[in-house]
Structure 1
C-alpha cells in the first residue's frame, strides 16, 4: 500500500517498516503496548465497508462538530499525501507533529516491527491521544477482522456495504468478505449496517448475535427517503424523524450513507450524554463535502474514485441523475488487481468515449492494456493527462476522472 510522503519520516528517523500488506493484529498490538496503548484512551466509531466509508465518516464528523465535539479522523488512502490521512477538527497533521510522533515511535523500538500502514495507524492513535479529541472516526484499511485498526473497542461499529474486493486477502466470495467486515463488531457494542447482499447479512447477523451486539439495519429499523428538496430520515427505534436534510454530496447512495451516519451519531450522543439538535444535524449534513466523490475540480471536470463494480454502478447512477442529457467522457486509470473489465462494462453504459492514462503506482494497470479491455467506440491513450484535462474544461459535456483514488492523488500532485 503506497503512502505518499511516509518515506521522508522513516528516513529522518532511520525507522524501517514493510510496504507489504500483512493482515493480522499481533504486530500492532505488540507495538501499541510499547507506546502505552494510546488507542485505549480514545472514544471511537469504527467504520468498515467496500464502499461508502469516507462519505459516512464525513457526515458523522460534521454532525459531531456541529454538536460541539472535537473530532479526529483516520482515513486511507491519502488524497494528496500522508498528512491528510490524520486530521483533528478538520485540520491535517503538520510536519512537525508527525516528525515528533516518528521520534517517539523510533524511541519505543518500533523499527522493523510493522508494515507502513501499521506504523501510520500507531501514529494516528498517538496523535489523537495527544490532541485529546472527544471522538475518533476510524476507517479500516482493508477488511476488518485482521485489519490493524481493529484493536479498538468502539462506541459503535458501522458496516456501510459489502461487495467483492481484495479477494486475494479477504476470500473469493461475499460470505468470506462479510466475515472479515463482521470482525469489527465487538461484544455488547451496537453495529449499524447498510443494505447488504443476503449472503453477507447472514454472516453479519450471526456475528452480532454471537457478540450480543445490537444490530441496526438500514431498511429495517431505520429508513431514508432521498429527495431533491432534502432527504427524510426515520428511526423506528426512538421515533426520531428529520426532514429536509440537504446534501451537497449527490446520489441516492449518499442518502444511505447519511442514514448510517445519523444512526451512528445517535450512539455517540448517548455516549457523551448529548441531546440531539435536529438543526445541528441539518447543518452538519449541509457542510459535508468529500474530495474524490463526484467532486468538481475544474469547470465541467469531476473526480470520482470509483474503483470497483459497486462504486462504478453508483457513479453511473449519479451521472444519470445529475447529467441526464449531457455528453460524458471518462478519463480512467485503475489498479491491475481490480475487476477492470467489469468496471469498464458498467461505465460504458453511459459513455462511448474513454481516455486511458498511466499513473504512479506499482500496482497500476498499463493504460494500453486497459484500453484493449474496453469496448468503447472512441478510446485512446493519453500521455499528458494534465494538458488533456485543461483541454476538457472547454469541451461540451462533462469529463469524469475515475478508476482509482491513487490516480486522483497523482493528478492532484501534478496540478
Structure 2
C-alpha cells in the first residue's frame, strides 16, 4: 500500500493492481502512450541493496548546491506518496499530482499497470512537466526488470549488493547482481561501491558486454578516513558528513563521483566549497536519524544494513546502554538482522508493522526468534519508545522503513511538544 496514492486513483478513475509483476512490457507500453517522458531529462539511475537513499540524498544536495534543478524518485515513502517524488527536495504538491494524474488518465493507462508501475509513470511525468536539470531515479526492486529501467541514464550507481528479496531476485549474490547490473546502459558511466567479489564479477561482465566504463570505489576513487575525497589528482578535504556511520563515507564518495560525471556531461564546473556545504546538510529520514537527545530511527531491514547500524552504534555510542524497538516484515531475513543487532543490544521491544498487514511478522514471532535476554512485546510502538526513553542510554526504532514511516511524524510531534 502507498499511503494517499489511492485517493488520486479514485478521483481520476485510474486503476492499477497491487501485485508485484517484474518485467518491462507494461511500463514500456505506458511510456509510448505518454510520449516517452522517461527520456525528457538527463537521468541518474540507482539500484542496489543498501545505501541508495543516502547516496541519492548527498548527490541531490550537491546538484542543488551547483544550481541544478533536481527531481528524485525514491521508495518507499516516509509519510505518503508525495514524498516519493520530489522537486528540489520538496515533496510533490497535491495540485502537481492532480496535473500528473490528468495526463495519466487522458493517455489511457488505466488498468495497464501495477501500483508501483503507475507511480513510476507518475514520476516520469513529473520529469516531463516540471523539467528538472537532472532526475535521480531509484529502482524499486532489483533493477533489470524493475519498472524504472526504461530510462537511458547518463550515470548508473550501484552502492552495494547483498541478499534481499530472494523470492524474486534469487538466492545467491550472483543472481541478485544480475538484476542490479541490468541498470547498466551503453554510453553511461557506472559508479560502483565496494561489492563482494561474486557480485562484482557479474557487474563487470555486464559492463564489458555493454561497453560501460566502471568507476569503482577503492580503485578509481575513495573517501579516506577523516572524510577526504580522492580521485586521481582531485582531492576534496575538510568534508563533514551530516549522515553518520562509517558506511556513509563510502556513500559520500559515490555521490561525489557521480556528480563529477554529471558535471562533465552537463558542462558544469565543480566547486569544492559547494560540495562541502552539500555534504554537511544532506539528510535522509530513517538513516540513523536523531529525533531527540536519545531517540534515533534507522531502517535496518536486512543483515547488511543491520551490520552498518551495529558498527555505527559501536563507533558513536560505545559502552552506552542500547534499547531497540523493532518491527520487521516476514519476508526479510529476520534471524540475520537480529544476530547483528544482538551483538550491541540485549534489550529488545518487538512491535508490528501495521501499515503492511499482509507482510507483517507478529511481534510474538519476533520474540521467539530473538536470542536476547531482555525482550518484550508491545502493542504500541510509540508507547514502547517513550517508556524506554526514560531509561539510561539511547533508544533506536528499527527493522522496517514502513514502521519508521508509520511513527516518524508522531514521534517528531511528541518531542517538539516537550
Corresponding position: 1:378 with 2:361:
no
Partner of 1:328: 322
- How far off is 1:392 after superposition? 3.0
CA–CA separation in structure 2 for the residues paired with 1:224 and 1:385: 37
Contact 1:382/1:388, CA 8 A, preserved across alignment:
yes
1:299 to 270, 293, 296: 293
- How far off is 1:384 after superposition? 2.1
Contact 1:72/1:89, CA 8 A, preserved across alignment:
yes
Of 386-395 and 119-128, more deviation after overlay is shown by 386-395
Could you give the per-residue CA deviations for residues 32-59 of structure 1, whole angstroms, max 9, x where no partner exists?
Answer: 1111111111111111110000000011
CA–CA separation in structure 1 for the residues paired with 2:104 and 2:353: 32
CA–CA separation in structure 2 for the residues paired with 1:220 and 1:261: 16
- How far off is 1:413 after superposition? 5.4
Contact 1:88/1:128, CA 8 A, preserved across alignment:
no
Name the Cα RMSD after superposition: 1.0
Contact 2:329/2:353, CA 8 A, preserved across alignment:
no
Could you give the per-residue CA deviations for residues 102-143 of structure 1, whole angstroms, max 9, x where no partner exists?
Answer: 122112111110010100111111112211110101100001
Partner of 1:285: 279
Secondary structure in 1 matching 2:219? coil
2:346 to 339, 346, 352: 352
CA–CA separation in structure 1 for the residues paired with 2:9 and 2:260: 40
CA–CA separation in structure 1 for the residues paired with 2:336 and 2:117: 31
Contact 2:44/2:155, CA 8 A, preserved across alignment:
yes
1:232 to 204, 228, 233: 228
Contact 1:301/1:392, CA 8 A, preserved across alignment:
no
Contact 1:141/1:147, CA 8 A, preserved across alignment:
yes
Partner of 1:94: 93
Partner of 2:121: 122
Partner of 1:164: 163
- How far off is 1:172 after superposition? 1.2
Secondary structure in 1 matching 2:2? coil
- How far off is 1:275 after superposition? 1.1
- How far off is 1:205 after superposition? 0.7
Partner of 2:414: none
CA–CA separation in structure 2 for the residues paired with 1:302 and 1:226: 24
Contact 1:298/1:393, CA 8 A, preserved across alignment:
no
Partner of 2:305: 311
Q: Give structure 1 stretches of 5+ with no counterpart.
A: none
Secondary structure in 2 matching 1:330? strand
- How far off is 1:260 after superposition? 0.5
- How far off is 1:395 after superposition? 2.0
Partner of 2:13: 14
Contact 2:307/2:340, CA 8 A, preserved across alignment:
yes
Secondary structure in 1 matching 2:140? coil
- How far off is 1:359 after superposition? 2.2
Partner of 1:364: 360
Partner of 1:270: 264
Partner of 1:66: 65
Partner of 2:337: 343
- How far off is 1:5 after superposition? 1.3
Partner of 1:189: 188
CA–CA separation in structure 1 for the residues paired with 2:243 and 2:195: 21
Of 300-309 and 126-135, more deviation after overlay is shown by 126-135
CA–CA separation in structure 2 for the residues paired with 1:359 and 1:181: 27
1:258 to 252, 263, 266: 252
Corresponding position: 1:244 with 2:242:
no
Secondary structure in 2 matching 1:149? helix
- How far off is 1:166 after superposition? 0.6
- How far off is 1:12 after superposition? 1.1
CA–CA separation in structure 2 for the residues paired with 1:102 and 1:273: 34
